[in-house]
Copies of this chain bind each other. A is one copy, B any other.
Amino acid sequence: MSDTIETKDITRPPKELVKRLEGIGSATAAGELKRLGIQNAYVQGPVPYSPGKSIVGPALTLQFMPQREDVYKADEYADPEKQLHRHVLYHTQPGDIVVVDARGDMTSGCFGNMMLTFFQGRGGQGVVINGCIRDYPIVMQDLDLGLWLRGVTPNFHTQTNIYPYAVNVPISCNETLVLPGDIIIADDDGVVAVPATLAGELADAASTHAEWEEFSRDKLLAGGHLRKYYPLSEEGRAEYEEWKKQQG
């Protein structure tokens, strides 16, 4: 019986830890993670389809595999409970982000309007897909999700080459490893997967980030020289101290 399918949930990082990563931005995260030993935490491939969105949250994962007719017969509506792309959404808790290995496929819409409506109803924040969604015109009009995708398509999720195969397992999202429970930071620069074990250190490193950057930015915009203001030279630092005093 189909309703016996059980997929495992993820171990979510503490909410406070996730919260500490909000506002950092993917660029700071990528740079600091490099210093913490992760050469390239950037999930290259999916690009913003919801410009301006910036989200942070734990990763639920979904893995697609190539179809083969003896293993999977494409049929969108036959026994929906067997379709694993539904099951990953069943695990949704507020703030979750679904990351999908859709194998780069440009002719399969991993989720459509109804799935994403449910996901948003459950508090999901956004999806990161090495592939496509479907119903993009409706999704953009009716929903308020963060979307990082390779593209969109009118096709449904099993119309052509792939089918949903596993839930909450380690996946490759465009040749970057993403583990279930990683903390995803996604904005208009792109998507970064933060290992939960490094999230604390990352938050620490980012918080010590130079408060003088605002000062420097103003100076640079007014024509000040990089050599003086970025990084701060001794001369620039003196000016900065003065400026800080004046800011009160």
Contact = CB atoms under 8 A, between A and B. Distances in A.
B137 A177 contact: no
A244 interface: no
A44 B121 contact: no
Contact of A117 (B68, B155, B165, B217): B217
A154 interface: yes
How many copies make up the complex? 6
A115, A151, A220 — most chain B CB neighbours (10 Å):
A220
A187 B217 contact: no
Contact of A114 (B120, B122, B220): B220
Interface residues of A, number: 88
A107 B42 contact: yes
Interface string A105-145: 01101001111011011100000000000111100101000
A86, A136, A153, A189 — most chain B CB neighbours (10 Å):
A189
A177 B217 CA distance: 34
B117 A40 contact: no
Interface string A78-108: 0011000010011000000000000100110
Contact of A37 (B69, B77, B80): B69
21 contacts: A27-B134, A27-B154, A27-B156, A29-B154, A30-B155, A39-B69, A40-B159, A40-B160, A42-B107, A42-B154, A44-B153, A66-B175, A81-B227, A103-B175, A117-B217, A118-B229, A122-B223, A137-B187, A152-B189, A154-B189, A154-B190
